[in-house]
């Protein structure tokens, strides 16, 4: 290679100071790529470090650091007094596709397994979109401004200072024992759940919980009832695990069990939200709950009870959890702290029948090992010291007042355009449009106006 071409190559290297990547690292990457793509040939001599530093407008120390990395990885070689050269032989595993080959198309995934492609197909992309700025009326988001962060931060500081160094190693995959005790005690009183701490498994939110349930209790290809309309996150998690979903309609008193039996008698599992059906908001009646439990016992099937926001009930007496009515050990109870505390706290819990606890803990250990211990310890203190109960009572009053204000505003400004149904439980309600209205088009228009109201037909 001529001197002119050599100088052109090095002067063409662009180094940026306004970046988190150190200058020496940028230079190392530029030279490494030039070697791998054969723009710098094997045996070619590199400029002296002082000369290259002057050419690039950087310090000689920067060049020497880059050279040191290239030396240590075998890209360049040299002897004192004879100069620095591109190594004659580059290890085969470092060679890249020739520069003349077309780069892979953006978004192409030929290397994915069939399972990986399946997951990409069923994913709605909601997880990435949920990182966008929060917009008014977005369902399922608690009042984040009202959370007592000062108390939480104080508890976190205290926990970090008091934890022994051993607490920063691996911990029990079942979860922090005091948190399991606190959750079991709360559920026994507040939701009439029949459980001991040994049945509680701490998970990283409902999606992981659903994945664990599917992998432990069902084989790929087996069928599960899914409420129609129903929660998209549950559909994605179960489909990703290879479960074949069977839609079962929901009426004014919950999942239509008789229809499920008639249409899909082969199902091995049912996913339900009995306390506050998502998204319709209805509460499953006691007769319907007993009918569902009878089906599960007779069919040797399982029931997932997703009790996602039952803490917020505004009218009538709460019905006991489905799990509390179960006498055959067919119900897996699922709850999280996303709606009652804040979504960024990726802590949820399963209550499993005693005979299944070891299997679920083993599956959790294989896929995730353990949930973050410090967050579990802080949540424990938040519950046991009474902050959790006080926060729930305060937020229940706040959400009830907000719902009343929304309903009043709807009656005043949207009469004839939108009929809103009061919610007895939870953080969202349903608005019914006139016959023939396109809910998806209206949702898009609302989004353009900065308001997030998902269309019911999307569920």
Say yes or no: 303 and 253 in one domain: yes
**How many other β-carbons are positioned within 10 Å of the β-carbon of residue 434?**
9
Judge whether 105 lies within some domain.
Answer: no
Residues 201, 240 share a domain = yes
d(CA 304, CA 325): 14
- Among the residues of 320-386, which ranges form H helices? 322-325, 357-367, 373-384
Can you give the residue range of the structural domain that contains 177? 117-388
Nearest of 118, 127, 124, 117 to residue 459 by alpha carbon:
124
Query: What is the spatial distance between Cα 289 and Cα 297, in angstroms, rounded to a whole number?
Result: 13
Q: Are residues 384 and 437 in the same domain?
A: no
Say whether pLDDT at 5 is over 50.
Answer: no
Tally Cβ neighbours within 10 Å of residue 343. Answer: 15
Is the model's pLDDT at 122 over the cut of 80?
no
Residue 112 located in a structural domain:
no
pLDDT at 125: 57
Residues 281 and 148 both lie in one domain: yes
Mean pLDDT taken over the chain = 87
Q: Which two tokens stand for residue 381?
A: 């203190």
For residues 171 and 276, membership in a common domain is answered with yes
Select from 329, 363, 388 the last residue of a domain: 388
How many structural domains does the chain have?
3
The answer to the question of residue 106 being in a domain is: no
Cα 133 from Cα 112, distance rounded (Å): 31
pLDDT tens for 169-191 read 778 999 999 999 999 999 999 99
pLDDT over 60 (residue 104): no
Please state the pTM of the whole predicted model: 0.74
137 and 12 in a common domain: no
**Sheet of 223-228: strands edge to edge?**
200-203, 348-351, 331-336, 302-306, 269-272, 223-228, 244-251, 254-255
Q: Does 419 share its domain with 346? A: no
Structural domain includes residue 187: yes
For residues 170 and 252, membership in a common domain is answered with yes
pLDDT tens-digit profile of 243-292? 999 999 999 999 999 999 999 999 999 999 999 999 998 999 999 999 99
Provide the total of helices (H) and of strands (E) in the chain, helices listed first: 17, 13
Q: What is the CATH number of the domain that holds 32?
A: 1.10.10.10
Higher pLDDT, 162 or 348: 348
Residue 400 lies inside a defined structural domain of this protein: no
- 223 and 144, same domain (yes or no): yes
Check which CATH number belongs to the domain holding 177 and give it: 3.40.640.10
Say whether pLDDT at 82 is over 50: yes
In this structure, what token pair is assigned to residue 443? 């949702």
Q: Say yes or no: 84 and 217 in one domain.
A: no
Specify whether 149 is located in the same domain as 178: yes
Q: Which token pair is 118?
A: 């399946």
How far apart are the C-alpha atoms of 150 and 132, rounded to whole Å? 25
């Amino acid at each position: 290679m001529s001197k002119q071409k050599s100088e052109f190559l090095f002067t063409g290297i662009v180094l940026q100071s306004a970046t988190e990547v150190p200058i020496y690292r940028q230079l190392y990457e530029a030279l490494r790529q030039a070697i791998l793509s054969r723009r710098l040939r094997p045996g070619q001599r590199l400029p002296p470090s002082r000369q290259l530093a002057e050419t690039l407008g950087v310090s000689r120390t920067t060049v020497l650091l880059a050279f040191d990395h290239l030396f240590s990885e075998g890209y360049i070689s040299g002897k004192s007094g004879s100069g620095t050269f591109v190594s004659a032989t580059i290890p085969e595993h470092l060679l890249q596709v020739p520069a003349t080959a077309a780069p892979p198309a953006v978004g192409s995934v030929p290397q994915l397994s069939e399972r990986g492609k399946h997951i990409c197909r069923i994913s709605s992309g909601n997880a990435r979109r949920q990182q966008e700025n929060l917009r008014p009326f977005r369902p399922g988001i608690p009042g984040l401004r009202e959370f007592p962060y000062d108390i939480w931060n104080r508890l976190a500081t205290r926990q970090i200072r008091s934890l022994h160094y051993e607490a920063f190693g691996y911990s029990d995959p079942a979860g922090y024992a005091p948190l399991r005790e606190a959750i079991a005690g709360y559920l026994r009183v507040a939701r009439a759940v029949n459980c001991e701490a040994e049945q509680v498994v701490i998970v990283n939110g409902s999606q992981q919980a659903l994945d664990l349930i599917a992998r432990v209790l069902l084989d790929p290809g087996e069928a599960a009832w899914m409420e129609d309309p129903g929660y998209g996150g549950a559909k994605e998690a179960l489909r990703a695990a290879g479960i074949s979903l069977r839609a079962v309609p929901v009426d004014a008193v919950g999942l239509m069990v008789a229809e499920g039996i008639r249409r899909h008698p082969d199902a091995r599992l049912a996913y339900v939200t009995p306390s506050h059906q998502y998204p319709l908001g209805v509460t499953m009646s006691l007769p319907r709950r007993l009918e569902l439990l009878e089906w599960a016992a007779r069919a040797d099937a399982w029931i997932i009870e997703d009790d996602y926001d039952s803490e917020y009930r505004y009218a009538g007496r709460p019905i006991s959890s489905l799990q509390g009515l179960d006498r055959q050990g067919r119900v897996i109870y699922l709850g999280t702290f996303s709606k009652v505390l804040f979504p960024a706290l990726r802590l949820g819990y399963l209550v499993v029948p005693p005979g299944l606890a070891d299997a679920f803990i083993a599956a959790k250990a294989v896929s995730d090992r353990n949930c973050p211990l410090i967050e579990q310890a802080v949540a424990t203190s938040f519950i046991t010291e009474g902050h959790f109960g006080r926060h729930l009572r305060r937020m229940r009053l706040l959400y009830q007042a907000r719902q009343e204000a929304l309903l009043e505003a709807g009656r005043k400004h949207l009469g004839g355009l939108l009929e809103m149904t009061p919610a007895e439980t939870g953080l969202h309600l349903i608005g019914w449009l006139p016959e023939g209205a396109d809910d998806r088009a209206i949702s898009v228009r609302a989004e353009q106006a900065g308001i997030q109201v998902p269309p019911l037909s999307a569920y």
